[in-house]
Structure 1
Amino acid sequence: MRDDQRRFHRIEFDARIQLDLAGQSFPGILRDISLKGALVVLGDLGQPIEEGQQGRLIVRLDEGSVEMQMDVQVAYFHPVRHACGLNIQTMDVDTASHLRRLIEVNLGDEDALQRELSNLIDVMEDEHG
């Protein structure tokens, strides 16, 4: 999908992450994040990661003093680059607040943030009928 077709701005952001899938934990780095998804790069893997797998993404901010936790689903996995695209399914209120603030600071525009939040509501309504 081209950037101009995306409904959510991606915020480039480097942070340590842990991706928990199928009873295994994979350390890695967050490359970008939006209100609806994330791109992570994982270290060496002992097993392949498959599209559709569900798990939990933990993002450590501020040198680990703040964590964002979200339930995710693997959208795609690039085995050579160890890059994993994730769709965010759910998150707790604290995580939503941290993510909202992160996006607000990086967009630098309250109107742009409100458009992002409106898009998120539209997507959630579409997904849940």
Structure 2
Amino acid sequence: MTNQERRRFHRVLFDAPCEIHQSENVWDSQVLDISLKGVLVRRPDHWDGDVEAPLEVVINLENGAAIVMAVLLKHVERVQLGFQCQYIDLESASHLRRLVELNIGNDELLQRDLAELGAKSGSEPED
């Protein structure tokens, strides 16, 4: 089974600047794709984040708003980092939902992702 087949949430291509925060460290990066449960970003130059320490991804949207997620680093590759969302505030969740909704273009798929998100809220998170 491939990664794509196991994935329960639809990822959408999304190009936006972002920052990865950890303690006093901040790395500039670029979002590659995003879903209701995670984000894939370009691996920043000089990346030396601690996989054991808390991380936060801040995605800067065109309208001056931002999506802020407390994340868990799930995979590190040569050119990208994959994060799983652990916590997102209500305002950021609204922005993320709208972004995914506009990019999926299918309300049925969005509702299925939202239902899956609700079903997983009491169990171990999945990408």
Q: Could you tell me the percent identity over the aligned residues?
A: 31
Structure with the higher helix share, 1 or 2 = 1
Q: What amino acid does structure 1 have at the position aligned with 2:101?
A: E
Structure 1 40/94 Cα, relative in aligned 2: closer, same or farther at 3 Å? same
Tell me the TM-score normalized by structure 2. 0.88
Q: Partner residue of 1:7?
A: 8
| Structure 1 segments unaligned to the other structure (5+ residues) | none
Aligned to 1:54: 54
Q: Does 1:95 align with 2:92?
A: yes
User: Which structure would you say has the larger RCO, counting Cα contacts within 8 Å and 6 or more residues apart?
Assistant: 2
Q: Name the CA shift for 1:52/1:9 in 2 (closer, same or farther; >3 Å).
A: farther
Following the alignment from structure 2 to structure 1, what is the Cα–Cα distance between the partners of residues 42 and 59?
12
The answer as to 2:118 corresponding to 1:118 is no
Query: Residues 40-87 of structure 1, C-alpha deviation per residue, up to 9 Å, x if partnerless?
Result: 113311x5234444211100011x611111111111112x32x11101
Structure 2: runs of 5+ lacking an equivalent: none
Give the count of matched residue pairs. Answer: 124
Paired amino acid for 1:7: R
**Correspondence for 2:65:** 66
Question: Do the aligned partners of 1:73 and 1:87 also contact (CA within 8 Å) in 2?
Answer: yes
Alignment-mate amino acid for residue 8 of structure 2: R
Task: State whether residues 26 and 42 of structure 1, in contact with CA within 8 Å, keep that contact through their aligned partners in structure 2.
Answer: no
Residue 45 of structure 2 aligns to a residue whose secondary structure is coil
Q: Distance in 2 between matches of 1:127 and 1:2?
A: 17
